[in-house]
Structure 1
Amino acid sequence: MIILYFFLVHWFVSLFFQTFFLHRYASHKMFNANPFWEKFFYFCTWFFQGASFLNPRAYGIMHRMHHAYSDTEKDPHSPHFFKDVFSMMWQTKKIYNDYVKHNVKPERAFDVEYPTWPLIDRIGDHWASRIGWGLAYTAFYIVFATHWAMFLLLPIHYLMGPVHGAIVNWCGHKYGYSNFDNHDHSKNTTPWGFAMLGELFQNNHHKHPNSPKFSKKWFEIDPVYPVMKLMHYMRIIRLRKMQA
């Protein structure tokens, strides 16, 4: 049971900082945060993503491209131009690395207003950090795993951030229903959204890209937005748009 709890905690906390900090803040600036809290969330994103830390600048640039060119050939990760999810994510990885290493200059509209912390970026992207986190996960499993099959979960720990991205980018533009005609293939994959913390309400999000609440129908639940509202009332963050 300890391994299951560890996996679920890593899955949901890593995903929370991916949707809350990388997506809703670094990419869309749905809320404001003072320098202390920005660095706190930045550190938490590195700490909880661990081996799969995603650079906020590169993530933000790619996500803005995704919205501007949704499901066209210029979309960095539309599933409609790849035969499977693995080839899609391999191409995404190449584009991501080019932005991390500044090998490619993005369009000016995408290369603005994102959080940066060079120290954490260097640490998070360094091979020693990624391998160190991977060894820590492995050591935990060696100590607490009670069956060999549990070790099959380890690759997900190593690649947690990209795994979340693959699920959202593939499923969110192929399977589900649409509330809006966005002139793309974005879908709401599930009416509940708990497993992906609201990230699979892609159709809603593409219609209202700056709305911090991803759910729109009464039966849709975005579990992250109430947390953001609480942070807003506690003056940790300042939401730019409030919704019921």
Structure 2
Amino acid sequence: MAILIFFLAHWYLSLFVQTFYLHRYSAHKMFTMNAFWEKAFYLLTYMAQGSSFLSPRAYAILHRMHHAFSDTEKDPHSPHFSNNAFTMMWKTKEIYNDVHKNRVEPERRFDGDYPVWPALERIGDSYYSRVGWGVAYVLFYIAFATQWWMFLLLPFHFLMGPVHGAIVNWSGHKYGYQNFDNNDRSKNSLFFDFLTGGELFQNNHHKLPNRVNFGVKWWEVDPTYPVIWTLDKLSIIKLKPVKEKVKNRTKAAA
């Protein structure tokens, strides 16, 4: 039971910071927050992702590239130019490292307006931090695992952030239905996205990239949106007004 609770807690906490902080805040700036809360959520992102910590800067740049080049050869993670999810993840890792290590200069339109905390970023990206978090996960399993097969979950902990990204980008551009014709192959994979916190409404998001609620139809449930709505009401964040019309040529469910 302890292992199951730990796995689910890590899965959903890491998922939350990825969709809330890295995606909707760092990449899209769908809402604003003051300097204190920006640092607080930055720290939470590091702690939640642990060994798979992703730089908000590099994440934002790659995600903006993904929108600009969706499902073309320039897309950092389109499943339609990779043989499987693993080769797609490796391609994304290479591009991410080039951006993160400043080996390439991103286009000006993709750069800037994202949170930066150099000291924490150096810690999060360090060998000592990544290995340290990994050792902590292993020690927890040694202490609480009751069956051998539970240790097979450890690779998910080690690569939690990239695993979430792989699920979203592979499934969200291959499987499901389309509400909008976006001139790409983005799909909505689930009606209630309990698995990735709303991220699998890729077709909706590519049509309305600044809409904070990824669900568009009344029956599409984005479970992260109520959390964001609550944080806005508590004045922890401030949602930006969005002037986007949902009306568009739609496509039937597939």
**Interval of TM-score (by shorter of Structure 1 and Structure 2):** over 0.9
Tell me the alpha carbon deviations over residues 95-153 of structure 1, each in whole angstroms, 9 at most, x when there is no partner: 00011111100000001101100011000000100000000000000000000000000
Change (3 A) 1:231 1:242: farther
Q: Corresponding residue for 1:208?
A: 208
Residue matched to 2:251:
none
| Distance change >3 Å, CA 75–CA 242, structure 1 → 2 | closer
> In structure 2, how many angstroms separate the alpha carbons of the residues matched to 1:229 and 1:88?
33
Q: How does 1:5-154 map to 2 (within 5 A)?
A: 5-154=5-154
Whole-Å Cα distance in 2 between the matches of residues 102 and 41 of structure 1?
Answer: 24
Percent of aligned pairs sharing the same letter? 64
Q: Which residue of 2 aligns with 1:175?
A: 175
TM-score, with length taken from structure 2: 0.95
Residues in 1 aligned to 2:85 and 2:223: alpha-carbon distance in whole angstroms: 26
State the distance in 2 between where 1:134 and 1:171 align: 27
TM-score by length of 1: 0.98
Which residue of 2 is the match for residue 199 of structure 1?
199
Q: Partners of 1:191 and 1:233 in 2: how far apart?
A: 26
AA aligned to 1:66 is: H
| Kept in 1: contact 2:210–2:242 (CA 8 A) | no
- 1:242 offset after TM fit, Å? 6.9
1:167-209 deviations in Å (ceiling 9; x for gaps) = 0000000000000000000000011101110000000000000
CA distance in 2 between partners of 1:138 and 1:216 (Å): 41
Contact in 2 for aligned 1:212/1:241 (Cα 8 Å) = no
Please say if residues 211 and 241 of structure 1, whose CA atoms lie closer than 8 Å, have aligned partners that are also in contact. no
Q: How far apart in 2 are the matches of 1:195 and 1:75?
A: 24
Aligned AA for 1:177? Y
Query: 1:241 Cα shift?
Result: 3.0
CA distance in 1 between partners of 2:137 and 2:119 (Å): 23
The match for 2:226 is 226
Q: Distance in 1 between matches of 2:242 and 2:76?
A: 30
Aligned residues: 243
Which residues of structure 1 form unaligned runs of 5+? none
Secondary structure of the residue aligned to 1:98 is: helix
Any runs of at least 4 consecutive aligned residues in structure 1 with deviations exceeding 2 A, and if so which?
none
Q: Give 1:199's aligned amino acid.
A: E
